[in-house]
Amino acid sequence: MSNDCNKNSCGCCTSGQPPAPPTREPQATALNSNNGVTTRFLISDMDCPTEEAMIRSALKNCREVLALDFNLLERVLTVQHRQGTEPLIVSHLKGIGFEPRPLLAGTAGSSGRDENKGSVIPLRLVIGGVAAICAESLEWFTPDIPGVHFVAPVLALLTVCTAGLETYRKGWVALIHRQLNMNVLMSVAVTGAALIGQWPEAAMVSWLFAVANLIEQHSLDRARHAIQGLLQLAPVEADVKSAAGEWLKRPVGEISVGETIRVKPGERVPLDGEVSAGNATINQAPITGESIPVEKAPHDPVFAGSINQNGLFEFRVTAAAGDTTLAHIIKTVEAAQADKAPSQRFVDRFAEVYTPLVFIAALVVVTVAPFLFGWSWHEAFYRSLVLLVIACPCALVISTPVTIVSGLAAATRKGILIKGGSYLENAAQIKVMAFDKTGTITVGIPNLTDVVILRGNESRALEYALALSSGSDHPVSRAVAHGCRQRLTTAGSLPVERLTAIPGLGMSGTIAGETFVLANHRLIEERRQCSVALEERLESLERLGKTSVILADDQGARAIFAVSDAIKKQSASALAALSGLGIHVVMLTGDNPHTAQAVATQVGIHDIRANLLPEEKLRIIEELRIKFGTVAMVGDGINDAPALARADIGIAMGSAGSDTAIETADIALMDDDPLRLFTLISLSRRTMSILRQNILLALAIKGAFLCLALTGSATLWMAVFADMGASLIVVANGLRMLRTNGAY
């Protein structure tokens, strides 16, 4: 047996089954934890880090609150608090102008604004816009007509009361909580413009800001919809077979594991399961990203959210609604949105310092500039107002989450599940990628090809090998067990006492009072049972790319069992593509050097580390990190858990249907296609490129208008237009990730 066995020492080989996923029960609004309860709130007005800062400020001194977590894109606030204190938290949030709405566990945040507000705001904007345009027109075309100067202030006040009142309300709440956000800056700018008699500009600033906010919200909703579209993949009802044999429509949430569901052509699969009757062609692209539909027959797995293109089939449910592969994907993607990438954390910290500094600069302009440059107080005050409008870092802070979430959504569409923005960003920095061989480069389903009898009876050797290998879930053991069953004429296997897994080496047990081992070459050497003839036989098999395990008793080796594993057809092209991106590829395997070399030669890998124990893989990961930099480890997500955890980025291959793989790795490829790795790196680098473009663009626009403000060349409404225009540009640029055409 190869050294890949028991890589995580989890007991898989002795039990024959992977660890069971945790059971998930339907949750109420609050989730009990050891430190209190956790409640999720939908806050429709929470879009920006400025609102996050306000909420943190309001709740930081509340002893009942234990922890806060923000998902600004989904407008969801998660509060860990003491039992029974939810009304107090709601009261605090309402006190700063928010209307929190508790969410049931598993419910996504709203993708749009409040429906009632949506029907009123456009009308207010129309009224405010007409008034603002009329006020500006009067200023431009009738400056000398007597009495007209009384009309402009009235029109401006009408604009403020319709389009700008919400800005004043939010600005006042922020100000009394000592927060400098865009609403404060705009309120000061509008008020200041009115005080110095610039009524038309006050009206235009108020209206433009409201319009830009509305457009920005619609743009952000596109990013929200990209994630929330996952929720609509699975139907809410299904045809379930009753005890009487009738087909009844039932809600998916009420269907239990073990029940039988029927899926007609054109319908989506409602739950995970195993086909029990019928044949069909299934489009699994929503789950695995596979572009080619997959033929399904009895005993094949099906996933919730996939589409039945033709054929009628029945399947037995294997996972309840909250435990399907799709449910795990949604849960992971929602958690990923809350994970801030390094660039986003930097931008947030920058914005916290930047806004107060510009506010101070505006105060300096209005108080010092008249003495230094001979400006009039009116001129200095006006320029300081323009400076305040430009000070808002909205375009800067919004550029990162929109781009990151768009990248996460684009990856999910391609069957790549990334568990956080930090992993998406770090994937662009990967310098070396280490691969486990079995199940990653190869198919992972080896077959028994050779049985070499060294002494004794072949039939007895097959029986002993079957008895020992049946106790392990390792692919090589399964291949030996399956091959032995096919060669034996008798059914069943011999009883084994004290069956023990030897991590990375093999299995041992007592059969009919005699101790046997089914082990790899290393253990036979440790037992001092090698011979020249045995070494020659092993080397000849290994040179053919076959993995050998030896059956031995206390007298020595009795037989050799050789298995081989086919190489995935995409492996060679995928590894060549990764090398073309400048990534160093390494194979880490517990197999012998000859087998590893035979596989590596076929796929074009030149750096091979073979005959490794699990702890040796960890040491090599550390060596690669020191030599190359950022290291990614690609494995099956279960047996390679220690190496996946030690690498900078752990990537699980072929994770569809595997809860453990999805939860263990940082990135999970939902199908077995190694070309997804090239897609991952390309998509990550494209995301980082767009992210840098957005940050530089936002900073450049800010810098340019700061200079224009100080030279007196920018007006208030121009500053608003530029600031909000920059926000819309970076949002639109970030959303380009959603329009990917599959060129990766």
For the purposes of burial, counting CB atoms within 10 Å of the CB of 140, is it exposed (0-12), middle (13-18) or buried (19 or more)? exposed
The architecture in CATH of the region 406-442+567-686 reads 3-Layer(aba) Sandwich (3.40)
For residue 472, the tally of other CB atoms under 10 A from its CB is 25
pLDDT in tens, 12-50: 333 333 333 333 333 333 444 445 788 889 888 776 666
Three-state secondary structure call for residue 444: coil
What is the end-to-end Cα distance of the chain in Å, rounded?
A: 38
Provide the strand spans (E) within 427-538.
432-436, 447-453, 497-502, 506-511, 514-519
Q: What is the pLDDT of residue 578?
A: 95
Q: What is the pLDDT of residue 262?
A: 95
Query: Which part of the chain has CATH 3.30.70.100?
Result: 30-103
pLDDT in tens, 514-563: 899 998 888 898 888 888 889 889 988 888 778 889 999 999 999 999 98
* Rounded (10°) CA dihedral 613, 614, 620, 622: -150
Assess if CATH 3.30.559.30 describes domain 447-564: no
> Alpha-carbon distance 667 to 675, whole Å?
14
Does the pLDDT at position 152 exceed 60? yes
Query: Which part of the chain has CATH 3.40.1110.10?
Result: 447-564
DSSP 567: B
Assigned CATH for 30-103: 3.30.70.100
pLDDT in tens, 721-739: 777 777 778 878 887 887 6
Choose the weakest-confidence range: 10-19, 142-151, 425-434. Answer: 10-19
> Alpha-carbon distance 159 to 585, whole Å?
63
Query: CATH: 3.50.50.60, 2.70.150.10, 3.40.640.10, 2.60.40.1930. Which one for 237-323?
Result: 2.70.150.10
Give me the residues paired with residue 515 across strands: 510
Angle, helices 325-338 vs 394-413, to 10°: value is 160
* Rounded (10°) CA dihedral 669, 674, 677, 679: -100
Positions marked active-site = 436
User: What is the chain's mean pLDDT, rounded?
Assistant: 79
Q: Which residues contact 326 (CB under 8 A, 6 or more apart)?
A: 230, 233, 234, 272, 286, 287, 303, 304, 305
Contact 434, 634 (CB under 8 A): yes
Q: What is the pLDDT of residue 518?
A: 92
The pTM of the full predicted model, rounded to 2 decimals, is 0.64
Q: Which residue has the higher pLDDT, 423 or 2?
A: 423
Three-state secondary structure call for residue 562: strand
> Alpha-carbon distance 473 to 619, whole Å?
26
Tokens of 449: 């090809």
Give me the residues paired with residue 507 across strands: 501, 518
For the purposes of burial, counting CB atoms within 10 Å of the CB of 662, is it exposed (0-12), middle (13-18) or buried (19 or more)? buried
Query: Which part of the chain has CATH 2.70.150.10?
Result: 237-323
Does the pLDDT at position 233 exceed 80? no
* DSSP sequence for 264-313: -TTPBP-S-EEEEEE-EEEE-HHHH--SS-EEE-TT-EE-TT-EEEE--E
> Alpha-carbon distance 716 to 385, whole Å?
7
How far does Cα 608 stand from its chain's mean position? Answer: 31
Tell me the one-letter amino acid at 59.
Answer: L
Query: Which part of the chain has CATH 3.40.50.1000?
Result: 406-442+567-686
Q: 147-164 b/e with 16+ CB inside 10 Å = b? A: eeeeebbebbbbbbebbb
* DSSP sequence for 336-400: HHHSPPHHHHHHHHHHHHHHHHHHHHHHHHHHHHHHHH---HHHHHHHHHHHHHHH--HHHHHHH
> Alpha-carbon distance 192 to 207, whole Å?
16
